Amino acid sequence: MAFCACAFAIISVLVTIVGLIIFKLKAKQSVPVLDPEEYWGPGEKPNQNDLTIKDFKIQISQQDIDDLKWRLEHTRPLQPPLEGIAQEYGMNTNLLKKVIEFWKTEYNWKERETFLNKYPQYKTKIQGLDIHYIHVKPENPGNKKVLPLLIIHGWPGSVREFYDVIPIFTTAKDDRDFVFEVIAPSIPGYGFSQAASKPGLSAAHVAIIMNNLMKRLGFASFYCQGGDFGAIILQNLCVLHPECILGYHTNMAYVSTPLSYIKYVVCTLWPELIVRAEHKDRVYPLLEKIEHRIRETGYLHLQATKPDSLGVGMTDSPAGLAAYILEKFTTGTDRSWQQRPDGGLLEKFTYTDLLDNIMIYWWSGTATSSFRLYAETFSNKSRAMKTSWFPLEVPTAIARYRNDFYMADGILGEIYPKLIQLSDFEGGHFAAFELPEVFANDVIAAVEKFEDYNKKMEKKFA
């Protein structure tokens, strides 16, 4: 037994050394340079760019409303769940029937259309694509400093996630000397932002589009916040254009370096080297965590390989789209709800809230194009850029929620060397949607620290 332990220790050290070598080789690589004028629209690039900004409102025709009603009324009989099964096989069809019935009889689209149009919305053409965004300025900032905040959603979310945090961000408070001006775009191919007509639009390329959007609006530098794919997009932006980022807050820290994987394996013997004692169960036992990750990311493999096949069913069937998306709001909010027949959906949300988000996908017909972002981002060409391996040279804040993806303390330093704030909360993947006050207050606290940090840096290099 002693010999085995010794051999394992030696192997672990050797593996760590190899990992360090790989990491050092990575550090010598140059940050990729992406063309800020690359054209993603249909056909040939026009000779002149359209710089206009147009007002936008969601306006759904009666014909489309009638079509949805007909599809819901004619949903084919659903296969009953297996005996004793809640959400373990995906969306429980008994629960789905309740959602569909609510959708048909209680969800009032005209009221929700008015609600979703409550904030100013616009479209402007960036690199050949009409980009939709919400832009809310503080009404009465007084003598407060107005700070631009770019906030980006992910999948299967939308700008609907931010409707309860926008008022918190844009309302001046006596206890802080700033207030936000919020820009919340829809990712290209999501909601009311135009989808790319050409292959290759990865998260890194979306980052360039978002940077161009902020420049179009007059912001050479800004604060930003992202979760899910919004986090991946903004992590890329921090790498590609750190000079534009005043500070980055994320509720989905993302570390995928070779050394990080080696650390997780080696530290199965000494977990305390990378994870605090009270969080050990979020990382280990490692095989159990890996098994859970594989089981819960089947959607990622499908969307990263066959987005167009999958998208047909989601675009044609509202019931299918609801089942596919709502299942993520069960497991993504609290993993234990997978054992509940009701999926726990009404614990933190209402059916109306959840259907608002689904309707954005349905009306825009963007199921397929939203899936494609996975295929483009996880393609060999995109991964070869290794943008996820570069440390972020911008001040960063991380909020970790218990039921979301978790990165151990000892891993974070590889990618976030300027980590100024690290917070831990109860809650899940859709933090802004689920816990708007907790989420918004953490972002505000982070920006207060970013402001102090940036002032010190200005003095240091003055």
- Distance between CA atoms of 109 and 34, rounded to whole angstroms? 41
CB-count exposure of residue 60 (10 Å: 0-12, 13-18, 19+): middle
Catalytic residue check, 205: no
Catalytic residue among 163, 228, 351, 361: 228
Q: Which of 163, 249, 429, 442 is catalytic?
A: 429
What is the Cα–Cα distance from 419 to 412, expressed in whole angstroms?
A: 8
Query: Is 353 tagged catalytic?
Result: no
For the question of residue 374 being annotated catalytic, the response is: yes
What residue has token string 């939203």? 370
Q: What Å distances lie between residue 80 and 97, 118, 192, CA to CA?
A: 10, 39, 35
Q: Which of 223, 299, 351, 374 is catalytic?
A: 374
> Which residues are CB-contacts of 396 (< 8 A; sequence separation ≥ 6)?
238, 247, 248, 249, 250, 416, 418, 419, 420
- Can you tell me which residue has the tokens 């993993």? 335
The Cα–Cα gap between 156 and 270 comes to: 36
Give the active site residues.
228, 374, 429
